[in-house]
Structure 1
Amino acid sequence: MDNPNCNTEHKKIQHVTAEERHEIEVRFNKDQWSIYRIAKQLCRPFNTIKNEIERGLVLLYHGKVLRYNAKRAEQVYLEHRSHCCKQYKRLATSPFIHYVEEHFKDGWSLDACVGRAGMEGLFPRSQMVCTKTLYNYVDAGLLGIKNIDLPYKLSRKTKSARVRQNKRILGDSISDRPEEAETRQAFGHWEIDTVRGLKKETEPAILTLVERKSRYSIWLKIMSATAASVQEGMRQILTHFGDKAQKVFKTITGDNGSEFAELFRLAGEGIGIYFTHPYSSWEKGTNERHNGLLRRFIPKGKSISGYGTEDILFIGDWANNLPRRILGYKTPEELFEKELDQIYAL
């Protein structure tokens, strides 16, 4: 055999060594061996040797003869290796990174920082990185932000589905809701829910409403999570908009919780009232998502009685002034005010 020391297994994930390059030079130039024979001698895949020879080819004798040069191949190899490591733009994007870290302290998401900066043209594109890269920087420890600082990254859990019996149905199904509410093309379609603190009958709650098109949220502290308190809270909100309330609130969608048992009474005032399918609160996911923003300030199990009306208004203003990717990095406040201007101009 030509190569008695070779076995049938090829070397894997090993770069060609300097010794092997010198042997390739001798076998290819002097002995005129084929690429296949050299690969078999070195126990290397055919393509590995073929690519190696192509990297080290030089023209000799006034460009008439091609020869493999081990030194040339080594130079090309080292040049390629110098560019193969992962490149970070961290130093070149320091002003943008500082902008991200400052707004992250205000509760902005990393994506909101990227989108808003791009929309306002605050930095040249070459001095910015995308959202995915920012999260990679967090993982690599290149930002002053850690994974534990991200509200949802460490808390996401999967839940197994289960079927429940004795389902409560309070009124018209969400399946009967106008199509314009589903597509979010029209203004005035809301989702409603309550956020509780301690599980006590006398414990205050927060009534939350979110407009589906603009994602504008209204948060109001009420006496308790009961049907009477919810009705009283809705009366306060509707009174605030006066005779334009029916144009601002075209439909309201809630779940089948007992606190919404009296909500159907608003239908007599020209407001469409709809309910999700039993045990399917995900069907009003916009509101559930905004409840998550509220929970950043009021964790589960913490009494709401310690928060005043001004505290709730402050949290609401913060949420309504967060740039959102789904809104083209505009804020819910900006879109809501634009819709109100059109309504009051009529």
Structure 2
Amino acid sequence: MSSREACGIVGINVRTGKRWRNGRNPTGSEAGASPIISAALSVVRGRFLNEDERVVIADRRRTGATLQQIAAELGRDRSTISRELRRNAHHISGDYRPHAAQRLAEARRPRPKTGKIAANPALRQVIQDGLDLRWSPEQIVRRLRRDFPDRPEMHVVHETIYQTLYLQGRGELRRELAQALRTGRAIRRPRRQVQQRLPRMATPMVMISERPAEADDRAVPGHWEGDLIIGKDGKSAIGTLVERATRYVMLVHLPNGRTSDVVRDALIDTMSGLPTHLARSLTWDQGSEMHRHHEFSLATDIPVYFCDPHSPWQRGSNENTNGLLRQYFPKGTNLAVHNREHLDAVAVQLNGRPRKTLGWDTPAERLTKLLTEAS
């Protein structure tokens, strides 16, 4: 549980709980104090092994039981048992003595501890030198293991370096070294838990797995893929629509930004003129610009299907087209300067380009053929 919850149960102030847990430094009027170690550590069950479990481990090891068998009896993971034997067995004989192991674990548990980097000046210097050369923490720790294979005191994991740089008050590495990281951040960016994230869409999404099978094999026209290409600093955008069967492209003019209401209105304006047999569905990624997708569907009678996260191949035609469009709209440029006439001219060029996947027909020729057959 959190520190605040634990202090509430005990009935003490949160600051008092912090002093109990971490100890305190001496001041002019008050003596210092060491962290308080609970007398009930041996009965902790859950994250830590307790003394009774260590007795079982010792007994079963003497009978020749495997780590997997011991773990199953205790309801623990096999790695927990393996780690316990590696850490707390006698350092000379290798024998596992449960009561001695319990004392070692209890002595190791109190916080705060002196960090490994702070306790080893040589290690600290090597890490500082690596960061000065703009090496990433992972590159540093890999080289440490290669250059000092027989010196475990020089081995750390890259998370240890990140923690040292990000946590306030450590003083183990110079604060300015954080700027040598590729992100340039001196603090860690907090991430929301899945259950805390706000929904991107006003109404539930219909996923691509529920899209009609006729859209998958591209045999039936009228199924579209859509996305935005983004301009400089994320402040401008152009909407792109690609028909899956013919690869026909339509560009959506977004001179007033890419908020959900602007994108909704622009898509309605662009797609409402399509014949019914060429407006069967629209597939989009989970971008927040489609927050009002249900309103688009009500206005056009075109259902919207959403791709799975981090799955751009589910809109392969659209991704390919976006790459072609970067010839006309380079990255890092302001896309708001292009008017509707220019977007239409670019679309005409793309739709007049022979495509290998169409047997060297153009998308415009394929679409004209479909319209002719329908009429």
**Alignment TM-score, normalising by the size of structure 2:** 0.44
Larger Rg: 1
The structure with higher relative contact order (CA 8 Å, sep 6+) is 1
**Alignment TM-score, normalising by the size of structure 1:** 0.48
